[in-house]
Chains A and B, each alone.
Chain A
């Protein structure tokens, strides 16, 4: 089975919905250890994405992802703009010209997307950032490839890995981003960036459950 272009459009819509529903929640998480704007910024970015998407809805998956990335870069601001923008740009680059993605294609796209986030944010695993949710999701997909799981199953497992990664950030002391200024006081709080990353991957799992 494959993820078709319309499935990716559905996923982007699902991301916009889930970020809108969780805007206040993300902002609360951010207020505890950051500057309290993450939910607002992501919601603003994906609202802009939803306005832009109809223009490219008949194009290839690469163009769709790249459009999402460019729109986030120019509307989100903060650190999340360049990071999520880079995420979708890199995923788009790996999907250029494609009208459908198999599991290996999705793995390559996600792997490249996460590598882009690491390059732009210079964060490592354990720094209490988006990377802590994204990186386990990539590892999980690799295992699922080896185990010959269906796309739907593989993506569900990768979302679960992201969730675990997100929860794992709770006791940690932040070493990157604005939360790092709290030092020890950042421990005991879930990272908002890891949380939005999980929400985006869970949206993929929910949308593509039957793929």
Chain B
């Protein structure tokens, strides 16, 4: 497997060095423990928002640090949860006196490390709330598993909560926004190819040329089924049906439609997917009022797409439209 790297051991550190050099106006990078933090942190009187997770999903989370989104992000090794000392230091660095929200994706490692960090932060007298995002409808039997995985809705939660914090809302109000996204968002992804973790050097899973994995996770976890490859429109139908029927989304609902690349799928194909997903919403009478299309929560170089629907209300629209200025997402400022 060919990779544009120097040394598998140095991938995360060298990436962070690049981020620091590229965006000094927006973020600072702290090493040992590693975290990306807003250049002007802590913002006094504002709720701090941090997230984190394994690396390999760029721009999530470090690319979403800045005005109107995250105050800090903790990157772990590739596909490996960061550690409590990173989260604790990041929490301290962003605490402007109004408390800190931890946005956590539902993976066993992330949950345990964030729990330990929150315990430590509370022991030091900080106010910390945590919301676990678990929007992946591909996971069935969630009672008998670690539960649904946290995927695309995480990006949307970070945007909406970031805006709520900028508007001066309290920790409990910002937490409520996050819970609303958790409750109103659903996602599902698929893979055309595997990805290769730099350190492992071999593809995470074998996927023959003429097959696809429907319901794949963002670390290459298996999904619902491995099927013969189909045309784009049929694939989008396979992703949309479980999403729409899960909440369920109904006629008259207003939604944000988020079509995401797993890293290797180009924008030209994402628009093909968006077109079909939009048409399916129309058929159900669901109104697409906002969208996001691009590579935002990736799985290294995996080819594939994920689709997220988030049911919007007036307040969420206002929060979505609020200016944002981060390396990975920016408008209106």
Contact = CB atoms under 8 A, between A and B. Distances in A.
B215 to A, nearest CB: 9
Given A77-B113, A176-B108, A35 B146 contact: no
Given A37-B197, A41-B80, A73-B84, A175 B145 contact: yes
Contact of B141 (A73, A79, A80, A183): A183
A120 interface: yes
Contact of B222 (A81, A177, A182): A182
Interface string A129-156: 0000000000000000000000000000
Contacts of B79: 35-37
A73 B146 CA distance: 21
Interface residues of B, number: 37
B89 to A, nearest CB: 11
B280 to A, nearest CB: 26
Contacts, number: 104
B145 A77 contact: no
Most buried by A among B76, B84, B146, B217: B146
B112 A82 contact: yes
Interface string B206-220: 000000000001011
Contacts of B200: 27, 31, 36-37, 40
A40 B108 contact: no
Contacts of B77: 37, 40-41, 44, 77
Given A77-B77, A82-B113, A176-B108, A181 B84 contact: no
Contacts of A79: 81, 107-109, 112
A75 interface: yes
A9 interface: no
A30 to B, nearest CB: 9
Interface residues of A, number: 31
B92 to A, nearest CB: 15
A176 B146 CA distance: 5
Interface of B: 33, 54, 76-85, 107-109, 112-113, 115-116, 139-141, 144-146, 149, 197, 199-200, 202, 204-205, 217, 219-222
Interface of A: 27, 31, 35-37, 40-41, 44, 73-83, 120-121, 174-178, 180-183, 185
26 contacts: A31-B205, A36-B197, A36-B204, A37-B78, A37-B79, A37-B80, A44-B77, A74-B83, A74-B85, A77-B81, A77-B83, A78-B76, A78-B109, A79-B81, A81-B113, A82-B84, A82-B113, A120-B112, A174-B145, A175-B144, A176-B145, A181-B139, A181-B146, A181-B217, A183-B140, A183-B145
Given A74-B85, A76-B83, A77-B76, 9 more contacts: A78-B109, A81-B83, A81-B112, A82-B115, A121-B112, A180-B144, A181-B139, A182-B221, A183-B140
